[in-house]
């Protein structure tokens, strides 16, 4: 699958996965795509825990709220950020994590799997902290994103994206001349 096809095919999958277990070699390739993402000042402040042990997967799914996509996931990638500044007092942890996650989402699609970017749900009920404790993440580091991975049991509807001319313009916002 070429890059633009992967971009076009990527969507946030929230359904159930089938019983296919992604091999560790595939999970390694996916995370390697995240490792190769741009990093502010090359600070490389994002790290990853690849979870494929059924008991841990169940515990994470329970923490997140037993959503079908988590309950049936055969693997998850947990993205961890180190908030340390890398340019004076500036940290690029959020930006670096976002770049890594997008690379991994595209790799996931290109390899025939599906996922969803789970981040907002981690902000409630101390979910990020609970997952961090479960996985032995050091104090001061933050569980930022969880990517459940698997093969969809059946495709789910995709949300429409606004067309180019509603979100992008040349030279001026909304193409308005001054």
Domain positions in the chain are 3-175
> What's the pLDDT score for residue 129?
97
pTM: 0.92
147/2: higher pLDDT: 147
User: Quick check: 178 pLDDT over 70?
Assistant: no
If one looks up domain 3-175 in CATH, what number appears? 3.40.109.10
- Give every strand in the sheet of 142-149, ordered side by side: 46-51, 75-81, 142-149
User: Quick check: 101 pLDDT over 90?
Assistant: yes
Q: 119 φ, ψ to 5°?
A: -140, -50
> Mind listing the pLDDT tens digit for each residue in 45-65?
999 999 999 999 999 999 999
Strands 75-81 and 46-51, bridge-based pairing: antiparallel
């Amino acid at each position: 699958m070429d890059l633009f096809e992967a971009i076009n095919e990527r969507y946030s999958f929230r359904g159930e996965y089938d019983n296919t277990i992604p091999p560790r070699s595939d999970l390694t390739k996916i995370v390697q795509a995240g490792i190769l993402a741009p990093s502010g000042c090359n600070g490389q402040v994002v790290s990853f825990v690849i979870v494929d042990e059924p008991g841990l997967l169940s515990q994470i799914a329970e923490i997140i709220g037993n959503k079908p996509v988590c309950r049936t996931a055969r693997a998850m990638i947990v993205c961890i950020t180190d908030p340390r500044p890398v340019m004076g007092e500036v940290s690029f942890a959020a930006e670096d994590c976002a770049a890594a996650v997008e690379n991994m989402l595209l790799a996931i699609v290109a390899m025939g799997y599906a996922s969803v970017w789970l981040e907002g749900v981690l902000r409630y009920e101390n979910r990020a902290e609970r997952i961090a404790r479960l996985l032995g993440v050091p104090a001061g580091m933050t569980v930022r994103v969880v990517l459940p991975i698997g093969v969809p049991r059946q495709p789910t509807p995709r949300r429409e994206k606004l067309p180019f001319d509603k979100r992008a313009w040349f030279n001026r916002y909304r193409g308005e001349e001054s």
